[in-house]
Chain A
Amino acid sequence: MLKVALAYAAAAFMLLLPMGVTGTYVVHVAIMTMIFAILAMGLDLVLGYCGQYSFAQGAFFGLGAYASALLALHFGLPFVVTLPLAVVIAAAAGVLLGIPALRLSGHFLAITTIAFQIVVYLIMAQWYGLTHGMEGLSGIPAVGSVQILGTTLARFDTPNGMYYLTLALFGLSVLIAVRLARSRIGLEWLAIHDDELLARALGVDSMRRKVLAFAVSAAMAGAAGAILAHYLHSIHPAEFSVWTSATILAMTVIGGRGTVLGPILGAVLLTLLPEVLRSADEFRLIIYGALMIIFVTFFPVGLVGLLRKRGA
């Protein structure tokens, strides 16, 4: 009961947030938090549920952002078209990376995903003709407005409009993650996580389940990337480097692996923390690294696990 009430309270708070604040700063931080929450939730399906190590979430994020931006810039396609295309492209790349995961696990898979992350980053940074290298892409159009018969129903070119669009995609991601986690698929992921051999012996098709985890995870990252590109109007390779993957991993680990709420809490904490500690920005990544070590060593269950222990 309490959980349901809290969920409704959180949803109401998110819906009313832009009305209660003046200026765009809070809305901006909220949008960035939701984007990273989508990324961390996606990673957790692979890491926390399926038990596969991936350092490539930043690469899928970048693939989605660049795909959506390039399609909008070169072909003038609207966001309703570029978003699904970005999701499909990222998911296809996820399947591509999921295939090595069929044969590799643990350390070997982690190395492969780092190599994939670096290759994608190098393409973004060095293929000047397509990506403009380190200068990045700029002039990415804002998400237009929805008009029916001349009346504007919704405008997405304002921060508040963008906030609600991001909120909608965030809500959809939560829904997908919760549904998957509670379905037979989620249980099979957990079985693979605990003991892949045993899971296969019990009839779990671990091949297909692993590839599916990578595909869904990458699809979520692709959507997050598309939102980022059309929200910030310019993107650079540095936003999608291995450090981005590290940050997303830290969010998932600190929040709590193998839960839907954990990565969201982690994203909130690690997005708000740098905003509060502005003066210590140069120590930001050092603090993330230290938190990763501390949480894995002493609190492997993450924030969610600690909260649950307190509640029980």
Chain B
Amino acid sequence: MGDLDLGFLAQLVVNGVVTGGVYVLVAIGLTLIFGVLGIVNFAHGELYMLGGYFGLVAATVLKLDFFSALCLAMAGVAILGVIAERVVFRPLRRRDPTDTIITSFGLAVILQNAALLIFGAQPQMIRTGLSRIPVSVWKVSLTMQRAIIPVTALVLVLILHCILRYTWTGRSLRAAAQNSVVASLVGVDINKVAAATFATGAALAAGAGVLMGSVFMMQPSTGSMIALKAFTVVILGGMGSVYGAVGAGFLLGIVESLTAGYVANELKDVVAFLIVILVLLFRPQGLFGTALVKV
């Protein structure tokens, strides 16, 4: 009996790591944008959702293989992110930054309803051959399609780490995160930094959208739910902390999976929001300290 429970527990944890990988990717973009530019992108979930649909179009209309579709969707949504920064966020940079709450929310309303018009409300999915390959370790089994989610997530995090750490773009991003005025004094172009930050965040969200869209059905409204999960992760991990987001993303995925398995499936989504309200009340700096974009 105890042995059986252990297998069930392991399966739940693995399931949690799979969804956690998606949360990590969406949350990193959100936390990066907050850390560098001091704004919260309320349309981030819509970038995730559009990534899923771009991937779907790339896989079905353009007949690309899964990884090409993933790259194309990331590139397409990155361009969209740059446009969004230019139109919605940049005009307000010198004004009250909280006004971007309303403009980015307006952008979310536009993108989600535009997706509804273009792609329709019916749930759709990216079908790949990978979902027919089973992976089985000990008592845990999942499809290859699911197994690549946390792996891809970690690879993307590693690439981001190298960019932030070792390239000039990454250095200017970190400089702007520490102090944008001083950064611009020493020659960092804040407009370029803002564009690069949004491109990176949007690409990561789109990647998450494609990965999730190959495992679960997607709808134009799926983005809002994921965005709120990502907010939870960002707050748990500490606003602006990239590694905090990685830890908190996997943690939230596992907690949700355990709630669904041991308590009740319906409570799974409510748990995240209760966590966010509790953390904001009692530990607003997040579980993992106070870091800005620290790498």
Contact = CB atoms under 8 A, between A and B. Distances in A.
B224 interface: yes
Contacts of B228: 111, 114-115, 118
Contacts of B36: none
B103 A111 contact: no
Contacts of B107: 289, 293
Size band of the B side of the interface?
A: 35 or more
Size band of the A side of the interface?
A: 35 or more
A119 B273 contact: yes
Interface-central residue, A107, A250, A283, by most chain B CB under 10 Å: A107
Contact of B40 (A103, A107, A286): A107
A164 B228 CA distance: 41
Contacts of B231: 111, 114-115
B261 interface: no
B156 to A, nearest CB: 24
B269 interface: yes
B238 to A, nearest CB: 12
A288 B109 CA distance: 8
Contacts of B87: 293
B113 interface: yes
A297 B91 contact: yes
Interface in B27-75: 34, 39-40, 42
A90 interface: no
B114 interface: yes
Contacts of A122: 269-270
A57 interface: no
A296 B109 contact: no
A253 interface: yes
Interface string A98-124: 011001101110111011101100100
B233 to A, nearest CB: 12
B106 interface: yes
Contact of A289 (B39, B106, B280): B106
Nearest to A245: B105
A34 interface: no
B109 A289 contact: yes
A249 interface: yes
Interface in B122-175: none
Interface in A207-258: 242-243, 246, 249-250, 253
Interface string A278-296: 0000110110111111001
B235 interface: yes
B284 A249 contact: no
A285 B103 CA distance: 14
A53 B98 contact: yes
B245 to A, nearest CB: 15
Interface string B89-122: 0011001011101110111111001101100000
B277 interface: yes
A112 B277 contact: yes
A100 B278 CA distance: 9
Given A122-B269, A289-B107, A100 B281 contact: yes
Contact of A126 (B88, B266, B281): B266
A282 B40 contact: no
Nearest to A253: B102
B101 A286 contact: no
B106 A292 contact: yes
B235 A111 contact: yes
A126 to B, nearest CB: 5
Interface string A170-214: 000000000000000000000000000000000000000000000
Contact of A285 (B88, B113, B274): B113
B276 interface: yes
A55 interface: yes
A122 B34 CA distance: 28
A300 interface: yes
A55 B101 CA distance: 10
B230 to A, nearest CB: 10
A56 B217 CA distance: 28
Given A107-B40, A107-B101, A122-B269, A289 B235 contact: no
5 contacts: A103-B281, A114-B228, A119-B273, A286-B110, A296-B99
Given A110-B98, A250-B106, A292-B103, 8 more contacts: A103-B280, A111-B280, A118-B273, A119-B273, A282-B117, A283-B117, A289-B105, A293-B107
Interface of A: 53, 55, 99-100, 103-104, 106-108, 110-112, 114-116, 118-119, 122, 126, 242-243, 246, 249-250, 253, 282-283, 285-286, 288-293, 296-297, 300
